[in-house]
């Protein structure tokens, strides 16, 4: 399972070694942790990893044509 803070847990295929998190917001801190589950049951969550997305780029400057 992948826990991304306030979103619900994401169940992924046990053979998966990489996962892309879509629909993230700009300039936002995400706390992510994972948990393995097998036939015995769920294990403990990993330690939390914090990562922050970058801000959106600034708007482009306004251009005016003053002569042709």
Q: Which structural domain, as residue segments, surrounds residue 38?
A: 1-55
Highest-confidence segment of 12-16, 19-23, 34-38:
34-38
The answer to whether the CB of 16 falls within 8 A of the CB of 52 is: no
Q: For residue 28, give the CATH number of its domain.
A: 2.60.40
60 falls within a domain: no
Predicted TM-score of the model (pTM)? 0.69
* Cα 37 to Cα 3, 7, 14, 16, 65, distances in angstroms: 13, 19, 9, 13, 63
Provide the number of structural domains found in the chain: 1
Residue 45 belongs to some domain of the structure: yes
User: Between these two residues, 8 and 66, which has the higher pLDDT value?
Assistant: 66
Does residue 31 form part of some domain?
Answer: yes
Residue 61 lies in a domain: no
The answer as to whether 35 is a domain residue is yes
Residue 56 exposure: Cα atoms within 13 Å on the Cβ side: 6
């Amino acid at each position: 399972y992948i826990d991304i803070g306030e979103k619900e847990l994401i169940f992924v295929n046990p053979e998966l070694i990489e996962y892309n998190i879509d629909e993230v917001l700009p300039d936002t801190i995400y706390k992510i942790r994972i948990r393995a589950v097998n036939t015995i049951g769920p294990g403990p969550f990993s330690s939390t990893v914090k990562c922050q997305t970058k801000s959106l780029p600034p708007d482009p400057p306004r251009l005016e044509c003053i002569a042709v």
